Amino acid sequence: MTTPASFTQDELKTLVGQAALQYVVPGEIVGVGTGSTVNKFIDALATMKEQIKGAVSSSVASTERLKHLGIPVFDANDVTSLAVYIDGADEIDRSGYMIKGGGAALTREKIVAALATRFVCIADASKRVDVLGTFPLPVEVVPMAAEHIKRRFQAQGGDVSLRMHGGAPLVTDNGQHILDVKGLAIKDPLAFETAANQWPGVVSVGVFAHQRAHVCLLGTAQGVETLKY
């Protein structure tokens, strides 16, 4: 038997992915995020696929995994609301505010989260922080605005880099680019998100404060801890 202290990070992701099933409402469509932790959730969701109508997905990668496992995927435009959205995070603070977008899916994640009544974050304990900003903040930008937005973050003390993939700028599912901003201490996530979202050329900023988590299933050495905000 595995002792709690010997959980690997991968095992913690599996534990929280499985624990999230308790928030899935039978007969409904579930909102599904993106990332390695969500992949564990998708695999677990497949075990109860007969009990749900399907999913709204936040990325091409999650859509492919859902479909491969036989879970129907609906377009976000075909639903008016979702009972729950389940997604990971790169950082989560004590108010349920998060940094997301390490997997470059932040814009669609925010759209699906906005459709949901409840955001359930699934994360291992390494993601918990007091102040957001140690993880480089992802910002999805229209390519022609990248240098301008880079200078604005630099003026705030940020160290900004254009995310690359295979020697070229990474292109998101929406055809845009990602800036990663290091060196920020985001003490007022609501105000930060509101301000940065209004800069011309910003598609989405990876601070999820207006779409914060309502519940976090945190994988710890002692097992799954449930945090409510």
Residues acting as catalytic residues:
109
Map residue 124 onto helix, strand or coil.
Answer: strand
**Contact string (CB under 6 A) for ligand 5RP, positions 103-142, x = contact:** xxxx--x---------------------------------
Closest CA to 73 of 100, 47, 45: 45
Q: Residues 8 to 47: which contact ligand 5RP by CB under 6 A? A: 33-37
90 touches ligand 5RP (CB under 6 A): yes
CB of 117 to ligand 5RP, least distance (A): 19
89 touches ligand 5RP (CB under 6 A): yes
180 touches ligand 5RP (CB under 6 A): no
CB of 122 to ligand 5RP, least distance (A): 8
102 touches ligand 5RP (CB under 6 A): yes
CA trace torsion 95, 135, 19, 62 (10° rounding):
120
87 touches ligand 5RP (CB under 6 A): yes
Number of residues in contact with ligand 5RP under rule CB under 6 A = 17
- Could you tell me the CA-to-CA distances from 227 to 55, 164, 170 in Å, in that order? 24, 35, 34
201 touches ligand 5RP (CB under 6 A): no
Q: What residues contact residue 151 under an 8 Å CB cut-off, 6+ apart?
A: none
Question: Tokens at residue 55, please?
Answer: 């999913």
